Amino acid sequence: TVSTSGYFAEQRSKLNKQLTVGVSDISDCVHGASELFELKENVGSRLEQLGATLEQHILLQNQERENFTKNSTELEAKLRETEAEVERYKRELAQQKFRSLQDSLTKLPNRSAFEERLNMEFSRWQNGQTPLTIAIVDVDFFKDINDNFGHIAGDKTLQVIAGTLNKALKNDGFVCRYGGEEFAIIFCLDENQVKDKMELAREKVANIPFKFKTDDIRITVSAGVASFNN
């Protein structure tokens, strides 16, 4: 920390001054001594003081090094904690983004996701990178299912149809629940290719064995296809 660094700097400055004074005193003793005995006695005592100061200097350096290592370790730990926290927030934001673009009933991408993907594919189409075709699917006589068998049956119907369309088309298109009983699919294919694939998907939906209470029901869907043309 700043306060700790200031303490070590202050102590280091004091010891440096003591060392400077000690060396100066020894020099004065050498030049001022008239007898060898006097020189030995005076220089000896000052050398002891100088040695003690040097030991304090070394001790201070060791303490400063240990403090630096401790602070570095603490900072690294805090940095790792911060990085982990940032990653957690990123995951939470990604999950929130995913949930905001997912239809809660069918688990397909929702209308917002459709519009976001359409904007992206439209830009690619404008640049001449890919063709672009949209298909809209509507469940035939869906209101009758709700009226005759209840909304739970209607919800289940949408879930099953959504799963069938997604399984049949996900390798070729971006399948979304557009709203109500409508589904929208974005294809980077030409119109004729999409018509063929939609006919196969329509047949798969028609062959789903729906059963409500004691009634076996055949449910169909209708689809419209439109391509973007230059």
pLDDT in the model for residue 161: 96
- Residues 25, 29: Cα–Cα separation, whole Å: 6
Q: Which residues contact residue 42 at a Cβ distance below 8 angstroms, ignoring those fewer than 6 apart?
A: 29, 33
Task: Please check whether residue 158 is in contact with residue 139, taking contact to mean a CB–CB distance below 8 angstroms.
Answer: yes
pLDDT in the model for residue 203: 95
Residues 10, 83, 85, 181: which is the catalytic one? 181
Q: What average pLDDT does this structure show over 44-62?
A: 73
H or E stretch at 80: helix 36-100
Residue 185 scores a pLDDT above 70: yes
Residue 106 scores a pLDDT above 60: yes
Sole residue written with tokens 């983004």: 97
Residue 36 scores a pLDDT above 60: no
Residue 45 scores a pLDDT above 70: no
- The band of 44, judged by pLDDT with boundaries at 50, 70 and 90, is low
Residue 206 scores a pLDDT above 60: yes
Residue 58 scores a pLDDT above 70: yes
Q: Is 181 a catalytic residue?
A: yes
pLDDT per residue as tens digits for the range 2-27: 466 677 677 777 767 776 766 666 66
Which two structure tokens, joined as six digits, stand for 160?
């099953």
pLDDT per residue as tens digits for the range 155-173: 999 999 999 999 999 899 9
pLDDT per residue as tens digits for the range 189-200: 999 999 999 999
Q: List the one residue out of 33, 59, 34 whose CA is nearest residue 46.
A: 33
Lowest-pLDDT choice from 50-59, 120-129, 199-208? 50-59
pLDDT per residue as tens digits for the range 115-166: 999 999 999 999 988 999 999 999 999 999 999 889 999 999 999 999 999 9
